[in-house]
């Protein structure tokens, strides 16, 4: 059976970016994680151990976002790598990292990267 667990709208303040100022003043980010799995056992047993604990997913995102990177592509890949390493019963995942109000020469609400694995 195919099931999806989503942890959406993880809000973090982080210091990613190529500009030195971004490393000092930081910015707002939103991370969305979609995890494909089979949680049939959890649905039947009502036991957390039988599914993906989204508290763990949130923790991984917060810890990796706290490590400065020049590129959100880099931090996104670190998040994906850790989730794949630490989460059992994972079939595939989709990660979206959104940088709110990026310091670019234009009127842009956000920029985002998506990694599907």
Domain that holds residue 36: 3-116
- Number of domains into which the chain is organized: 1
Task: Provide DSSP, 29-78.
Answer: EEEEEEEEE--HHHHHH--GGGS--HHHHHHHHHHHHTS--S-HHHHHHH
CA–CA separation, 34 and 44 (whole Å): 22
pLDDT of 104: 87
The torsion defined by the Cα of 63, 3, 99 and 106, in degrees rounded to 10, comes to: 170
| CATH number of the domain that residue 97 is part of | 3.30.1130.10
pLDDT of 35: 98
pLDDT of 105: 85
Q: Locate 95 and state its tokens.
A: 């990660």
pLDDT of 103: 87
Blockwise average pLDDT, block size 10, the chain, 117 residues: 96 96 94 97 96 97 98 98 96 98 90 97
């Amino acid at each position: 059976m195919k099931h999806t667990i989503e942890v959406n709208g993880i809000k973090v303040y982080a210091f990613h970016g190529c500009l030195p100022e971004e490393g000092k003043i930081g910015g707002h980010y939103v991370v969305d994680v979609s995890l494909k799995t089979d949680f049939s056992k959890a649905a039947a047993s009502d036991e957390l151990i039988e599914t993906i604990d989204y508290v763990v997913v949130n923790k991984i995102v917060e810890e990796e976002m706290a490590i400065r990177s020049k590129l959100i592509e880099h931090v996104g890949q670190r998040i994906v790598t850790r989730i794949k390493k630490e989460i059992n019963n994972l079939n595939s995942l989709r990660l979206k990292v959104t940088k709110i109000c990026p310091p670019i020469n234009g009127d842009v609400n956000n920029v985002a990267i998506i990694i599907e694995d």
